[in-house]
A and B are shown apart, each in its own frame.
Chain A
Amino acid sequence: MDLHFGDSKPTDEERAAVDALLGPPESSWEGADRSDADLRWARGGREARDRRDLLLPGLHAINDRIGWISEGALDYLCRRLTVPPAEAYGVATFYAMFSVKPRPATVLHVCTDLACAAAGASELCAGIEARLGLGSGVSVERSPCLGLCERAPAALAIKAGDPVRTAVSAPATVPDAVLAASAPESAPEEPPAALAVPQAGGDGLILLRRVGVVDPASLDDYRAHGGYTALRRAFELGPAGVIREVTDSGLVGRGGAAFPTGRKWQATASQPDHPHYVVCNADESEPGTFKDRVLMEGDPYALVEAMTIAAYAIGAHKGYVYLRGEYPRALHRLEHALAQARARGLLGDDILGQGYAFDIEIRRGAGAYICGEETALFNSIEGYRGEPRSKPPFPVEKGLFGKPTVENNVETLVNVLPVLTMGAPAYAAIGTAKSTGPKLFCVSGSVDRPGIYELPFGATLGELLERAGVREGLRAVLLGGAAGGFVRADELDIPLTFEGTREAGTTLGSGVVMAFDDTVPLPRLLLRIAEFFRDESCGQCVPCRVGTVRQEEALHRIVERTGAAAADDIALLREVGRAMRDASICGLGQTAWNAVESAIDRLGAYE
């Protein structure tokens, strides 16, 4: 690899930001001043190239410090890591949170997605833009779902510097959001995560039992409330025993695809190729989903313990948490939890004195819904564009760095703790025969008490909405987020199980339950969903790259039309939707038409 660099030089601050992550450069080959020794030895090569996975953290380091990524900064980072500048440019331009053009140090992300739109995001956005125009030092960006749906409308301010400052304003008003953007360091503290859990502290909770009860910063508190009993049990059972318990429990993935967790673990554990990896998918970006954020903010050690168990079961010594870039509080809580666990021997070379070594690294996403797709996530961690890979081979065989990998969602992993503490039979007795265990639901929209609800599988949609205090005039409920489907207000007896929703011709997805009353114009909602998919398509395959654009154009044309005037475009949507579902590479394109189709067929959105 003979790399070519331009003449742009990094500023001292850009250089410092990169060096803070990578350490000072060792030779001119890595961007230091040239010394006599450099003329004799070429450094770099494989050793440097093998650090390609530090490209994304490097881009974050620059963006966090400066607010954007200049040519000089990108070139310097490329020199340090022996990455071709063209490829690094391709990676930097892939993520919505990065900019390769100068912009103000502060960016205010104002959510205009479904729950926030229904809560008046467009007026909020207009108000903020009027106050924070050019010259205000703040760049206002309309953002997809920020995962703060229980407090809609929401805004997130990120002020570059050393250190980078963030502030969340939710529910946001124009003055609050402007304050958060102009002085993030003095903005009021976010309410505790437990406020997103209306059942907090109640009896009978399993997954949420510690949220709002324990101090999320205290490892002692976690242990006093049953923490690390599951890991002890795991060491008693041995790896094969853990996998047997998880398989017998009937636990399936909670991220949306509902794949049996035990089978995934078994398939990875039995791969002869090493090392094995555990990856936690915490890139929660499905509009309307915020359960993983609440778990990580309210009970971060549970995730650390669960990942340790997963690693032990499959023989992995290294784990990654791929955390959504828009979740600053979850990042701080998890970083703190990891440091505490390391200091107390619960991560590291000899966990609980059992001689088992495992550690976890956090990698931040940078604003790309597609990186929640498991193979796109691997590419993102590895320092490539977050484009999905074609399957097969599946991650259990060739995953992160081409090695056997278990990738699980946060909620799935946290479920492993009760599986081990209660035992598989007791866990499997919860819920229904085909959907076992407790499930978290993210309820938002037209309800009095939005938030995360934990119910055993099998409760009906109506029961859930009643708990959340559904308001008068319910028109439709969106299940599973933008990739899910709408159901009517008279279908509230749908049981919230994988099989029950499938039978009803809809999906549970990641557990989003978003209620809309009859004041929300459906065509606008559908247009927002279409805009979301157009913005978030990675662009790799034609059906999704162009199909999502054509879908949005058609929905735009019929936003004010009904009946015969919309019929031609609906027929066109059906044809394009079918090809997207059949021929796209990954789940994004395959599901991009689901919600729109369900709104047309079930709700009669254009009749």
Chain B
Amino acid sequence: MTAMPLGVPRRLVEFTIDGQEARVPEGATILDACRAAGKDVPTLCQGDTLTPKNACRVCVVEVEGSRTLVPACSRKAEPGMEVHTGTERARHSRKIVLELLASSVDLSTTPQVADWIKEYEAKPERFGPDAARLDEEPKIDNELYVRDYDKCILCYKCVDACGDQWQNTFAISVAGRGFDARIAVEHDAPLTDSACVYCGNCIEVCPTGALSFKSEFDMRAAGTWDESQQTETTTVCAYCGVGCNLTLHVQDNEIVKVTSPHDNPVTHGNLCIKGRFGYQHVQNRD
């Protein structure tokens, strides 16, 4: 018999979203409730396996009685709250956030963002041709993955995944301040001189493609990366007895990337260097 952990029974919180009654378990966020109600609230820095950092502010909604907008991803639902997800005020802030990001960061590999830019009628080009951009070159200092911080929206997810939320390696941190803040290892050294253990869990959570497999980076550069030609096969890692799930992304009969299902109850999408990068022997045909 399989025992399902039920946890402590939780009270339901009743409140309204856009005038409709909503009921979620105590501790759930506004975003959880919105998604349960089928409402589309955009998110960038929110991660399904991580504590919300609410840094990107693209998920802001209006809550009656609140002086400012509130981030749906982190604000917990409270009884009697009146939440409005689509007001002009909330949509205005989302639009500006998208414009600010798109005018300073390369969002070309960020899923969904192009649709949101269209939906919110964001016009990043209106800040003019001289608007400051991140202007970062890709950091290619190892054979496994590439850090292209020109695509970084500073969502903190990689830092959290590397730190106490998952990997406990603490190889990276945000360094600098304000617009000059960047993700870096100590002394901004190459990855090979850092504490990085190449688990790739930062790649797993990166929402913009700033962190990517070297294989993906090279194929994109060569113009051969084609997600429509890829299959995804979930299997079990053969290296040790933990039994982590691997999802192999295969294009032209070659493994091009490895991810792991976030809903796995044991590993929550985390892998180690072997599961993440140790697949070359599979396609060694000599």
Contacts and interface: CB of A to CB of B under 8 A. Distances in A.
Interface of A: 1-4, 6, 71, 74-75, 84-90, 93-94, 96, 100, 368, 385, 390, 534-543, 545-550, 553, 557, 572, 575-576, 578-579, 581-585, 590
Given A3-B170, A549-B132, A575-B96, A539 B187 contact: no
A537 B156 CA distance: 16
Given A93-B177, A582-B69, A539 B154 contact: yes
Contact of A89 (B58, B168, B175): B175
A3 B195 contact: yes
25 contacts: A2-B169, A6-B186, A84-B170, A85-B186, A86-B185, A87-B163, A89-B184, A89-B188, A93-B175, A93-B177, A94-B175, A385-B173, A539-B176, A542-B101, A542-B154, A545-B154, A545-B179, A548-B179, A549-B132, A549-B179, A553-B131, A578-B96, A579-B93, A579-B100, A584-B68
B92 A579 contact: yes
A548 B97 CA distance: 12
Contacts of A385: 173-174
A356 to B, nearest CB: 37
Interface string B217-229: 0000000000000
Contacts of A537: 177-179
Contact of B171 (A4, A6, A576, A585): A4
Contacts of B56: 541-542
B174 A539 contact: yes
A575 B71 CA distance: 19
Interface string B102-146: 011000000000000000000000111011100000000000000
A535 B178 CA distance: 7
A538 B55 CA distance: 11
B178 A550 contact: no
A1 B57 contact: no
Given A71-B187, A100-B187, A539 B177 contact: yes
Interface residues on B, range: 35 or more
Interface string B32-54: 00000000000000000000001
B68 A545 contact: no
Contacts of A6: 186-187, 189, 193
A86 B170 contact: yes
Contact of A390 (B54, B100, B168): B54
A545 B97 contact: no
Given A89-B184, A534-B179, A547-B100, A542 B127 contact: no
Nearest to A585: B54
A88 B175 CA distance: 9
Interface in B150-178: 153-154, 156, 163, 168-178
A582 to B, nearest CB: 5
A87 B183 CA distance: 11
B227 to A, nearest CB: 27
Contacts of A584: 57, 68
A550 B127 contact: yes
Given A535-B178, A539-B174, A582-B89, A89 B186 contact: yes
A518 B174 CA distance: 43
B252 interface: no
Given A541-B56, A550-B100, A582-B60, A89 B93 contact: no
B16 interface: no
